Structures are given as C-alpha cells and as structure tokens.
Structure 1
Amino acid sequence: MAWNVVIVGGGFGGASAARELERLLPKQSARLMLVNDVNFLLYTPFLPEAAAGTLEPRHVVTPLRDILRRTYLRLGGVHAHDPGARTVTLRTHEGEDEEVRYDQLLLAVGSVSRSLPVPGLDQHAIGFKSLADAIWLRNHVIETLEQANATEDPARREQLLTYVFVGGGYSGLEALAELQDFAADAMDRYPRARLHGMRWILVEATDRVLPEVPLDLSEYALRQLRGRGIEVRLGTRIEEAAADSTRLSTGERVPTRTIVWTAGVAPHPSLGSLSLPLDARGKVRVDEYLRVEGLSGVWAIGDCAAVPDPNKDGRAPCPPTAQHAVRQGPVVAHNIACGLGVETSPRRFGYRARAAFVNLGRYKAVGKLGPASFHGFPAWWLARSYHMSQIPGTARKIRAVADWTVGLPFSRDLAELGSIGHPRPLRAEVYARGGTHRPL
C-alpha cells in the first residue's frame, strides 16, 4: 500500500522538500499531497521590484504544477491535526472540510507580518509579505500621486505625498528604495504634485539599519538612503497610526496616508490549532533532524519552525530566511524517506549562509558573498546574478531578464490596476454613484 505524505505550505521550504521527495521516493510507492493557499511559489526577493513595476508580477511567481510533477496540489489550508489518529483536517477555499490521513506530515506554513499593540496599526498600515501586498502598494502609490496632483488642499497633498516605512531590515529597505525610485521617475508626469515634492521616511527602532550585514555595509546603505533625501529615524518607534497621520516615539506627528509595516515576521497563526509543541515565539519546536519534538512522523521547516542553528551550537534558531528554508527542504525530505525505510542514516541540518544582498535601487546594493563584502554597482550586479541562479524554472529566468532589459530604455508604467480581479456588477443601479458609469 502506498504511503501518504502530506506537506502543508508551498513556499521555499515546502516546494523544495516536495521536489526532493519526488526524486527520492519510488513511483507508486507514495502519494504526495501539498496543501497551499495559492497555486504558485512566490520568489519573495523580487517582491519589491514587482511593487515598483520593474518586474511584471506574474514573472516573480512560478506555478507549483510546473515544478512538481508527481505531487497532488490542493488549494486551502489545514486547521486541525490529530496526532493520535495521524490525520489533518483540510479546509478548501469553498469552506468545505476534508479529513486526510498521513504517514508522514511536513509543516512548512511560513510566517506572517508581525504586528505590535500599536493603536491603529492593524487598521491603517499595510504589510509587505505577499504578491497581493506588493500590487496593492504599487496601486496605492499611483493613486496618491493622482490625488495629490488634483487636490487644491496643501495639507491633504502633504499627507498624500508622505510615505512612512517601519522596519530597517532587508524587506523594509528594499521596498522603500524600489518604490521611491518608481515614484521619483513618475513625478515628471504629475507637475502639480512635483512642485510640492515627496517625503520618504524610514523608522527603525534600533541604532542601525540592516543589522544582518557587517557594520560598514550598514553604514554605506544609510549614507545612500540619506543621500537620496530619505529621512531615516534610528532609535525611533511609531506609537500611533491613524488614517491621515502617525505619531512617533519622539513626539512628532507625521502627516501621511501611507504606513508600510515591515518590522519583522511571526509564525503562521494556524499553528496554534494544530496540537503541536510551540516555543515562546509560537514556532514549532524541532530537533536538529527537523523532527517535531514528541511526535512521530511529523516534521517542520522554514519560518514556522524553531530549527536549531548549528552555527550557534543550537542555542538559537535559524533566521527566517529563504536561503535556510530552501536548504532545509532536501534535508527533511531525506529524513522523511528514512522514516519510510527508503533511505538510511538521517541527516542533521547544517548550513551557513553564503550570500546576502540588499538592493538599494538606482543600480546600487550592498551584500556579502562568502567572506567578501560588496557595495554599489558590483553588489547590484552580483545580486542580479545570484537571484537569477535561484529563480525556479527556466521560463521565469528568461522573463525576468526580459523585464529588466526592456525596462532600461522606457519610462515607468503608471497604469493603476486596483480594479483588476474585482469585476463590475451587471446592474445599472450600481453605477448611479457619480452618474458617469453605465453597464456595457
């Protein structure tokens, strides 16, 4: 009888584990099922470029069915787990529940934006974790430019043209740099808004940006940002968010209609309902073999798991990065195969990050490749080359290069696509508002 292997989560970790299991497990010996809320793998390092329109959104995702040939893909999520019966309960997008039995279960559900108890934050800030977030943010920036160009109210124009980013790590800096580039290029076509000018503010609670890179690279990035007119507020937090402003810990109230929250991530909230051992941060406790503590045949990897970092003698978990998740996938796949008797000698997870790059826009970046550090154009070129080697699928590599190449001689595309995916109702009465719309 074939084994049932269930993988929950189709991000970097889950997808890489599924691909390796397809290679390791003999055909007909196992039924592989991957449960994910979307049918694609998002290449998250390119999310800022998708937001800025440098890359077409479809070109930063790879359909899971293109890279997984033997794995049965189910759209939905898992909301219950019975370790004794070895079953999980799948909930589809239609709201239907289905109980699925497993012999081996892998949890790779990833993370979500970490929120803090800041008044108004959940209502008035946007995260930056998904493709939907990136597309929404691009549309929002274009809409603020359109409104700022039309309004006669200087106070409202100031709110519209002030953009606040919270969090000075990788995602915050890259999103800010790309979107500021995009908006600066677009301003030539908004003459009334251009007269007022834009404000871009980065708020970081610690005393430096990019704590993940050496201090000299962090200081280079800080100089680049400030040299472009970006206001960097170190040692500062936001204490309140509202529809038209935010209040900082310095007491300053900044008029703005854009607050982008990139201050860290938290494990996926679904983990709390899955009868799993969790640590104080809400991550699944696993050992160096990626086995969930106290449960047979259950494994966890990626951002949702507290994987002991071998570079710190297991005293701290691995950082929540795509590099670590991708490397954990093949290791856990091998160990799952060991659990099924296909392989012998389970492997401990061990990995030291070889490369780390942060794109600062305008053909500049900072980064490390092994022991060497780079900044400026060489770092930007190396970052492009590195990411090209990591994008899954030849077609996506070619399309990304085509986007970069075609974008060089042409101006930015300012089409606001906020209505995409929201079809207009048929009834004529819906268009009564404003009196300018009528059904086709």
Structure 2
Amino acid sequence: MARPRILVVGAGFAGVECVRRLERRLRPGEADIALVAPFSYQLYLPLLPQVASGVLTPQSVAVSLRRSSRHRTRIIPGGAVGVDPMAKICVIRKITDEVVDEPYDYIVLSPGSVTRTFDIPGLLDNARGMKTLAEAAFVRDHVIAQLDLADASHDEEERASRLQFVVVGGGYAGTETAACLQRLTTNAVRHYPRLDPKLIKWHLIDIAPKLMPELGDKLGESALKVLRDRGIEVSLGVSIAEAGPDQVTFTDGRVVPCRTLIWTAGVTASPLVTTFDAETVRGRLAVTPDMSLPGHDGMFALGDAAAVPDLAKGDGAVCPPTAQHAMRQGRRLADNLLATLRNQPLRPYVHKDLGLVVDLGGRDAVSKPLGIEMHGIGAQAVARGYHWTALRTNVAKARVMTNWLINAAAGDDFVRTGFQSRKPATLRDFEHTDSYLTPGQVREHTASLNTRM
C-alpha cells in the first residue's frame, strides 16, 4: 500500500514548524513529506530591518532548511501557483520556470503573505518593499547610494530629493525600518563632509490615528517620542496620494522631494488562496479551529494565509498574522495531521499572545512581554533575546550574535555592494505576484494532465 503523501506549501514560520514536528514524530514509513519552497532557507522576517540597516548580514537571517530538517523531507525548489482540490494536485513553478504537478493526499497551505498595495498613481513603479531578503538588501544599497549621489551632486534640488526618505506604514515593519535606517544615515553622514546632517530627513506616515496600536497607548506614545526625539517626522492620519520618481505627494497636500519610498502598509494573503474556490475572511482562507478547510478533503491552512479562529480572545476574532501564532499553529497542525493518519480526534488551536517586541535600533526599544510594559535597554534585551531564541539553528544563532557584537563594538559600516544597482526594483520585481493561475486555469491544467495520462 502506498504511503500517504503530505505536501507542505511554504517555508515560513508555520510551514517549517509543521515539517520539523512531522519529521520528529512520524513513524518510519508512516508518510512521505514534501516541502515547496522557492528558496533553500526560512527567512526570519522580524530581523529584516536590521539587514536593511546593515546591523545583520543577509545570510544571518536566512536559516538553512537542510540544516534545520532531519533529511526526511523532499524539498521542491519553486513556488505553488495553483491548487486543484478535486484532483488533489498542486501546480508548482520551479525556479527554472518549469511547471510540474505534485499529487498529494494531505496538503498544508502556509504560503504566507505579500505586500498589500492600493491603486495609488506611481506606487507600483516607485515604491520599494520590505517583505523579502532581496528587498532588504536592495533597500540598504539604495539608501547608501542616495548619500553617495547627494554628496557628489552640485544640484541643490537633486541633493534635497536624495536626502529625504519616506516610509509608509506605522506597524512593526514600517516603524522598525524607519528607526533602523534613520540610525544608519545619522551615523553615516559623519563620513560625508560635504553633506549637512540637517538636510537628511526621514518621514514615517500612516493612515491610522495611532502608531502600533497593538502596543497600547502608553508604549505607543513612548515609541512615538523615541522616533520624534531622533528627528523622524511622524505623520498619522496621512497616506500617499501620488508617488513619482523624485517626489511624493501626501494626502494632506504636502509634496516631499524624495527618491526613496519604502512601502510597508500591511500585508495580504498569498494569491495562492485565490487559485481555487474556498470561503475567505478578509482575503484569508476560512478554516476551522483545527485548521482544516471545510468542504475540502485533506486540506489544511494556517499562518498569514488563513483566518484561524482565535479561541483565546473569542467573539469571532481571528489570529493576527504574527510569527508567534504561525509557529505554534505549525506545531498544532503537525499533531493534527498525525491524528488524522492514526484515526484520532483533531485538537483546536488555542494560544494566548505572549506579548510584543519592537526594536528601534541602538539602545532604543519598546516591549510588552506577558503584558509587562518596558522600554529602553531592558526592552532591547527582551527583544533581541526573543529573536535570538526563536532562530532555529545554532549556526543562525551564532551568526546573529556575532553580527550584533561586531556592530556594538565597531559601529555601522556603509559599504554599497551594487546589488541590482542598474535595474528597477519595484514591488512586483521581488514578490512575483503575477505568476499565479486562476481557478479556471488550474482546472484546465489538471484536466489536460488527465488527458495526457
């Protein structure tokens, strides 16, 4: 009898935790596991702002899948672009652009999320994201390049536009990105004698009335004060009306000369969830508390792509798209897959949020572990301690700790590597959101597969 085939889509926090637990707890020969991942690493997303600011090297936050696994999982290098639940086939585009069909008995959908954008003139062509490792590396090079070009320029208007930076999004990603990069440019300008430090301006804007409302009023105000004391201009209730190559127009009418627009205004579920017919909640797959997909045999979903009921909060709440929830959902789902294989009852996912950490660079941070509000050095220790502990391999932990120590002792470096220096780097260039199939295309593809067989 053929062994059941478990296919896990996505190597984020949820998918990797699910695979790791399955590898540890499956009996020999009980099932085959395959993992669909475009890269050979799990990205530790919360530390991307530190990659963008040069505190950490890109390799530090790229946790090797093969080091963290027990080699029982077949890794398929590519991305899932469609799912046919009736045929139980996942359509995968490999990194060579070859399209292959992967049959499954059980599928775990954890494709994560992509940057959420809006119909704003010029946004897709002129904004840069902070969702992938390549984007963080590009943003670092781009910001340092603006200092180099401004220093070499004799045109005051050009210089002004190169020395103003706009970050859209007052959540964790945007706030940490603005804070870390502002610290980088503040330290770097000392090495540019022709540049007036007063000309460098960072803007952080968000349409919401509060900065990081999840922190609560007291810590949110504390974070806001830290940013403003460091010279970051924070504008709330404001967004982008138009984005051009050398200026940005805010919705309050201000026009800011700017050649660096970083867009972190939220995320939306991976387009993979739209490639088959299923109920969604605000764009995320509607699943039961045990993370199964109603009406779809052998299908489960979790992480950013799924609206997993938050039983700890109740009142119809769903779990926020955080690493903390994704990791724990991955472990619970692995247990539920084992229970399904062994004809045992499935258990719901229940987890109370343990708190939040926000690293603002240097000695600045705010944290709320277990409801305890902290700021300053203590909060920084908690934030970095949490991230360090969450890294899944000793090699990754060693690299991150070494980078932190080097940065603390030697300070920032301002080397520009030239990554994609002569190519446009738009949001679409990095996240490839145009590669997914429609439900009709998926059905047509699998139907032609049956005809060929």
Q: Shared topology, TM-score over 0.5?
A: yes
| Cα distance change of structure 1 residues 91 and 213 upon mapping to structure 2, 3 Å threshold | same
Letter in 1 for 2:261: I
1:32 aligns with 2:28: no
Aligned residue in 2 for 1:7:
8
Distance in 1 (CA, whole Å) between partners of 2:27 and 2:368 is 39
Letter in 1 for 2:395: A
Aligned residue in 1 for 2:412:
412
Aligned residue in 2 for 1:229:
231
Letter in 1 for 2:76: R
Q: Please say if residues 367 and 374 of structure 2, whose CA atoms lie closer than 8 Å, have aligned partners that are also in contact.
A: yes
Aligned residue in 2 for 1:429:
none
Letter in 2 for 1:15: V
Unpaired segments ≥5 residues, structure 2: 423-453
1:41 aligns with 2:42: yes
Aligned residue in 2 for 1:74:
76
Deviation at 1:400, TM superposition (A): 1.1
Aligned residue in 2 for 1:402:
402
Distance in 2 (CA, whole Å) between partners of 1:65 and 1:385 is 24
Q: Please say if residues 81 and 93 of structure 2, whose CA atoms lie closer than 8 Å, have aligned partners that are also in contact.
A: yes
Aligned residue in 2 for 1:438:
none
Aligned residue in 2 for 1:89:
91
* Aligned-residue identity in percent: 37
Alignment of 1:326-405 (within 5 A): 326-341=327-342, 344-405=344-405
Distance in 2 (CA, whole Å) between partners of 1:91 and 1:16 is 23
1:52 aligns with 2:53: yes
Aligned residue in 2 for 1:436:
none
Q: Please say if residues 138 and 419 of structure 2, whose CA atoms lie closer than 8 Å, have aligned partners that are also in contact.
A: no
Aligned residue in 2 for 1:248:
250
Deviation at 1:394, TM superposition (A): 1.0
Unpaired segments ≥5 residues, structure 1: 423-440
Which deviates the most, 203-212 or 154-163? 203-212
Alignment of 1:275-290 (within 5 A): 275-290=276-291
Aligned residue in 2 for 1:213:
215
Q: Please say if residues 281 and 307 of structure 2, whose CA atoms lie closer than 8 Å, have aligned partners that are also in contact.
A: no
Alignment of 1:168-183 (within 5 A): 168-183=170-185
Alignment of 1:145-184 (within 5 A): 145-184=147-186
| Cα distance change of structure 1 residues 296 and 375 upon mapping to structure 2, 3 Å threshold | same
Q: How many residues align?
A: 421
- SS of the equivalent of 1:191 reads coil
1:16 aligns with 2:17: yes
Q: Please say if residues 357 and 379 of structure 1, whose CA atoms lie closer than 8 Å, have aligned partners that are also in contact.
A: yes
Q: Please say if residues 176 and 361 of structure 2, whose CA atoms lie closer than 8 Å, have aligned partners that are also in contact.
A: yes
Letter in 2 for 1:369: P
- SS of the equivalent of 1:225 reads helix
Q: Which of these residues, 84, 107, 110, is aligned with residue 108 of structure 1?
A: 110
Q: Please say if residues 276 and 284 of structure 1, whose CA atoms lie closer than 8 Å, have aligned partners that are also in contact.
A: no
Distance in 1 (CA, whole Å) between partners of 2:200 and 2:105 is 56
- SS of the equivalent of 1:291 reads coil
The Cα offsets for residues 164-188 of structure 1, whole Å up to 9 and x where unpaired, read as 0011110101011111111111111
Which deviates the most, 253-262 or 394-403? 394-403
Aligned residue in 2 for 1:64:
65
Aligned residue in 1 for 2:120:
118
The Cα offsets for residues 149-178 of structure 1, whole Å up to 9 and x where unpaired, read as 000011110100000001111010101111
Aligned residue in 1 for 2:303:
302
Deviation at 1:412, TM superposition (A): 2.0
Letter in 1 for 2:192: Y
Which deviates the most, 130-139 or 311-320? 311-320
Deviation at 1:197, TM superposition (A): 2.4
Q: Please say if residues 308 and 314 of structure 1, whose CA atoms lie closer than 8 Å, have aligned partners that are also in contact.
A: no
Deviation at 1:395, TM superposition (A): 1.5
Letter in 2 for 1:55: L
Which deviates the most, 149-158 or 60-69? 60-69
Q: Which has the higher contact order (CA 8 A, sep 6+)?
A: 2
Letter in 2 for 1:260: I
Aligned residue in 2 for 1:431:
none
Distance in 2 (CA, whole Å) between partners of 1:340 and 1:61 is 32
- SS of the equivalent of 1:177 reads helix
The Cα offsets for residues 16-53 of structure 1, whole Å up to 9 and x where unpaired, read as 00001112211222110000111100111111111111
Q: Please say if residues 205 and 239 of structure 2, whose CA atoms lie closer than 8 Å, have aligned partners that are also in contact.
A: yes
- SS of the equivalent of 2:194 reads helix
Distance in 2 (CA, whole Å) between partners of 1:168 and 1:38 is 29
Distance in 1 (CA, whole Å) between partners of 2:306 and 2:368 is 26
- SS of the equivalent of 1:415 reads coil
Letter in 1 for 2:360: L
- SS of the equivalent of 1:312 reads coil
Which deviates the most, 227-236 or 74-83? 74-83
Q: Please say if residues 186 and 197 of structure 2, whose CA atoms lie closer than 8 Å, have aligned partners that are also in contact.
A: no
Distance in 2 (CA, whole Å) between partners of 1:355 and 1:287 is 24
Q: Which of these residues, 189, 192, 197, is aligned with residue 191 of structure 2?
A: 189
Letter in 2 for 1:181: R
Deviation at 1:420, TM superposition (A): 7.3
The Cα offsets for residues 350-399 of structure 1, whole Å up to 9 and x where unpaired, read as 11111311011221111111121101111001111111111111111122
Aligned residue in 1 for 2:446:
none
- SS of the equivalent of 1:7 reads strand
Distance in 1 (CA, whole Å) between partners of 2:84 and 2:384 is 44
Which deviates the most, 221-230 or 96-105? 96-105
TM-score, normalising length: structure 1 = 0.93
Letter in 2 for 1:335: N
| Cα distance change of structure 1 residues 276 and 327 upon mapping to structure 2, 3 Å threshold | farther
Distance in 2 (CA, whole Å) between partners of 1:417 and 1:411 is 18
Q: Please say if residues 116 and 268 of structure 2, whose CA atoms lie closer than 8 Å, have aligned partners that are also in contact.
A: yes
Q: Please say if residues 43 and 61 of structure 1, whose CA atoms lie closer than 8 Å, have aligned partners that are also in contact.
A: yes
TM-score, normalising length: structure 2 = 0.90
Distance in 2 (CA, whole Å) between partners of 1:368 and 1:54 is 23
Q: Please say if residues 7 and 34 of structure 1, whose CA atoms lie closer than 8 Å, have aligned partners that are also in contact.
A: yes
